[in-house]
Chain A
Amino acid sequence: MIETSTTPLDGKCPTGPIETRWARHKEHLQLVGPTNRRKYNVIVVGTGLAGASAAATLGEQGYRVTAITYHDSPRRAHSVAAQGGINAAKNYQNDGDSVHRLFYDTVKGGDYRARESNVHRLAEVSANIIDQATAQGVPFAREYGGTLENRTFGGVLVSRTFYARGQTGQQLLYGAYQSLMRQVDKKSVNLLTMKDVLDIIVVDGHARGVVVRDLKTGKLDAITADAVLLCTGGYSNAFYLSTNAMKCNVTATWRAHKRGAFFANPCYTQIHPTCIPEHGESQSKLTLMSESLRNDGRVWVPRKGKDTRAPGAIPAAERYYYLEERYPTFGNMVPRDVASRNAKYVCDDGLGVGQTGRAVFLDFKDAIERLGKEEIARRYGNLFDMYEKIAGENPYQTPMKIYPAPHYTMGGLWVDYDLMSNLPGLFVLGEANFSDHGANRLGASALMQGLADGYFVIPYTLAPYLAKYGNKGGVAADHAEVRGALEGVAQKTEKLMSIKGERTVESFHKELGNVMLDKCGMSRTEAGLNEAIAKIRALRSEFWENVRILPDKDATLNVELEKAHRVADFLEFSELMCVDARERNESCGGHFREEYQTDDGEAKRDDENYAYAAAWEFNGVGADPTLHKEPLTFEFVKLTQRSYK
């Protein structure tokens, strides 16, 4: 029986007219004077868009920043892989875009499970991000006249997405990384690479540091500070196969959760509709084909199952353009959750294509006829090349095969309007927090959020905390809590090394992923989730008795040990995902419960009972967590059943 706290959780959002909330809030935030800033130490964990932008900006402001990443360089953070683009309410295309429309689209796209105040702020600062990135030298796509070019992404009716070929995340990250390296050169940022954060140090109820393991030597160290920012990305790899990079994990946020930070909406995960289908047993990750492809590609399957003709030989009348037929207004541009679920349905109905029958066509034939091969190559050339390298087929000649894959996680550590978790001094930015996308994220909005958090929000909202609670210089290295946290990580590592079992870390991760994809993926049921929880518990006990790690020394570069720490956390965390999914008796956005759907199979929300963010408090591994509810109120966007028909 899940216990629910009776005190509602307060996001501390400003009130009054939505257009001026952020401006008024900023005016009242306490500042730290320029000469005092260097007295405060701030740890930034993660150097993706969120972390690099935050560390660079705080460094520019004069704080003493320590930036930590497990990568060998900040430039490798998973943000680098984002392809499609970044949204901003610039209205450069004069097509009716505005801050309000971006705000409205994001709240609606999130299926009314995001905070209005946060989303509005995000829309407001979006335009500044494009300016900042351009000044850094990000080579966005341009029109012939030299102005910036835009494209459309799913779920919206305007062109507000800025892009740099199919490598927008890479270029934005390099912009932030360059700014970060400038601060490293100025010695305002101390950069620590190849360090894995394995615990958060909490002193007198405040986050005051982290425990890191040096990935080259295995050495554990405590780093203390006045505040800690987690910018550690999402947890899609709970599913094992996802579009995330191999090392993406939940460790930093999960360990913060075990130290008291609430985890919000862990069941809100996004399954991206356009990924290259799985090839077989040795598959290690899935590759995304940017959703921007849906601008020009048409999605279809043969009307009749097991049609073995070459796709080009199937006449138009025998093709089922299911998105265009079912959703005439948005067609191929419906939001991700809708596109993914429909791909699943047609494959469940036996209409899927390819070796496994779990794929649909994404066809560019009409677009090539209309625009020419050259124009298609200009827009998507690198994506087409990537597809050909992986799938061994040429998409200019034969339609791509695609299938949905886990991609993004809307859930994350709970934060208030100032991006601080309920654990004072612990701030959470980017994909690692839960704040802006509700139950479903619109395309090109994650890059926007990560950079908004890092460049434009935290530089304001961190100061009041430091002014009030910072203790200028941190905690002594021999403080009992510091020693305790170090000791805890050392023991856990030793325990992992001493098991010396039979099964590889990978095999546990794979098995967990299969359970999660099957029971907590694109559609979920109460019975299925209960089954998953039982399986996860059994797998977790087996892991702690039977995992094998080699080399058998921890005082060295040890990839299997790194993975073991991460998988141990996934094995705990995924249970919370299932609990959250089971307790949310409605369907919304990426969370689809089969018991709750409309007659034509669309997600059925229950606003009366579930218009809240579910923030979970940790009570021990395997113990039921406590639910804290943050009620969501909608004053500016009317709650309606989402429709993309």
Chain B
Amino acid sequence: MSESTISVTLEVWRQPGTDAAGRFETYQLDGVSTDSSFLEMLDMLNQKLLTEGKEPVAFEHDCREGICGSCGFVINGNPHGPDRGTTVCQLHMRRFKSGAKLTLEPWRAKAFPVLRDLMVDRSAFDKIMAAGGYNSVNVGNAPDANSIPIGQDAASEAFDAAACIGCGACVAACKNASANLFTSAKIGHLAMLPQGQPERYTRTVAMLDMAEDLGFGACSWTQECEAACPKEISVKWISRAQRDYVKGRVVKGI
């Protein structure tokens, strides 16, 4: 942690509301500590704007440690910025050179309307989850947790898929705005575990159909989603979910 400061030029998408027109505004920011996070740099910008009597930039965030999935916007064309496996809240200014020009825009997808500036409405993800992203088990029904052994490898692989934070970067990275990585990760997580088997195929079909109904595009396998995912979730989950989808539809007649 050795502090120094840099200057950056920001081109930020400003849009006062969903139906309003948006445009880029340019801001110059000096004296940014390289130890501060990207969002702390935006805090600094907002404090400056407020002091000047200007409206601050709205961006979504909460935990600021890469786990809640609230944050996310596009920096110079990259969802969550230049680093792999990193949410924008975990990105630090030491990553940039003084004089850097940074263009910030919201996720662009039909199913994610812009709310204000860099904030979008991602409630479509909740709808996909409600369509089947669970094991139907009421409280009171559960057997002893050790009654079904699960191998360390299977548990660990299930975890890899379950790590998805629902930020929406996969959708933003995809030229078709497909939600397949998000949806398949949840399908894959539950399909890896014995507890998820009874509803495996109905779940897969219901969730993928719902994503389509909500206006997310189809997958054309460019794998941009995996590259943008801050949790580095593999596209293998997409192929697995597709297999289960076909099996569910064709073999099981769902």
A: which residues have CB within 8 A of B?
A: 53, 56-57, 60, 71-76, 78, 80-81, 90, 92, 128, 130-137, 139-148, 164-165, 167, 170-171, 174, 177-179, 181-182, 184-185, 191, 193, 216, 245-247, 279-285, 287, 354-355, 386, 389-393, 401, 455-456, 459, 504, 506-507, 548, 550-551, 556-557, 559-560
**Who on chain B is nearest to A504 by CB?**
B50
Cβ–Cβ contact A245 & B155, under 8 A: no
B33 and A281 form a contact (CB under 8 A): yes
Encode contact with A along B1-35: 1 for CB under 8 Å, 0 otherwise. Answer: 11100000000000011000000000000001101
Distance (whole angstroms) from the CB of A169 to the closest CB of chain B = 8
**Within B51-87, which residues are at the interface with A (CB < 8 Å)?**
51, 53-56, 58, 60-70, 86
Q: Which residues of B contact A145 (CB under 8 A)?
A: 149
Q: What CA separation (Å) do A546 and B249 show in the bound complex?
A: 63
A132 touches B3 (CB 8 A): no
Question: Which residues from chain A contact B235 at a C-beta distance below 8 Å?
Answer: none
**For chain B, which range describes its interface: under 10, 10 to 19, 20 to 34, or 35 or more residues?**
35 or more
Task: Determine whether the beta carbon of A557 is less than 8 Å from that of B189.
Answer: no
Rounded to whole angstroms, the CA-CA distance of A177 and B192 in the bound complex is 19
Chain A neighbourhood of B151, CB < 8 A: 142, 144, 146
Find out whether the CB atom of B139 lies under 8 angstroms from the CB atom of A92: no
Are B126 and A191 in contact, CB atoms less than 8 angstroms apart?
Answer: yes
Q: Is there contact, CB below 8 Å, between A73 and B125? A: yes
Complexed CA–CA distance, A548 and B145 (Å): 53
Contact of B189 among A80, A139, A170, A401 (CB under 8 A): A139
Q: Which residue of B lies closest to A178 (CB)?
A: B134
Does B159 lie within 8 Å of A550, measured CB to CB?
no
B61, A246: Cβ atoms under 8 Å? yes
A550–B70 CB distance below 8 A: no
Q: CA of A184 to CA of B54 in the docked complex: distance in angstroms?
A: 40
B222 within 8 A of A: no
Query: Which B residues fall within an 8 A CB radius of A?
Result: 1-3, 16-17, 32-33, 35-37, 39-41, 43-44, 47, 49-51, 53-56, 58, 60-70, 86, 90, 92, 94, 115-116, 119, 121-123, 125-126, 129-139, 141-146, 148-152, 155-156, 158-159, 162-163, 165-166, 189-190, 192-193, 195-196
Q: Are A81 and B68 in contact, with the CB atoms below 8 A?
A: yes
Does the CB pair A71–B70 fall under 8 Å?
yes
Measured CB to CB, the closest approach of chain B to A278, in angstroms, equals 10
Instruction: Give A190 to B27 CA distance when docked, in angstroms.
Output: 42
**CB pair A193 B142 closer than 8 Å:** no
Cα distance A462–B29 in the bound complex, in angstroms: 54
- Which residues of A are found within 8 Å of B115, using beta-carbon distances? 216, 557
Also in contact, A284 and B135, with CB within 8 A (given A81-B65, A136-B195, A245-B63): no
Residue in A closest to B136 when the chains form the complex, CB atoms: A182
- Partner of B190 from the list A73, A137, A287, A556 (CB cut-off 8 Å) is A137
Judge whether B62 and A78 touch: CB under 8 Å. yes
Chain A nearest CB from B73 CB (Å) reads 14
Instruction: Give complex CA distance A170, B65 in Å.
Output: 12
Are A177 and B129 in touch, CB under 8 angstroms?
yes
Q: In the complex, are the beta carbons of B63 and A81 less than 8 A apart?
A: yes
Inter-chain pairs besides A76-B70, A560-B56, 6 sampled, C-beta below 8 Å: A128-B142, A181-B134, A355-B2, A386-B65, A550-B53, A559-B58
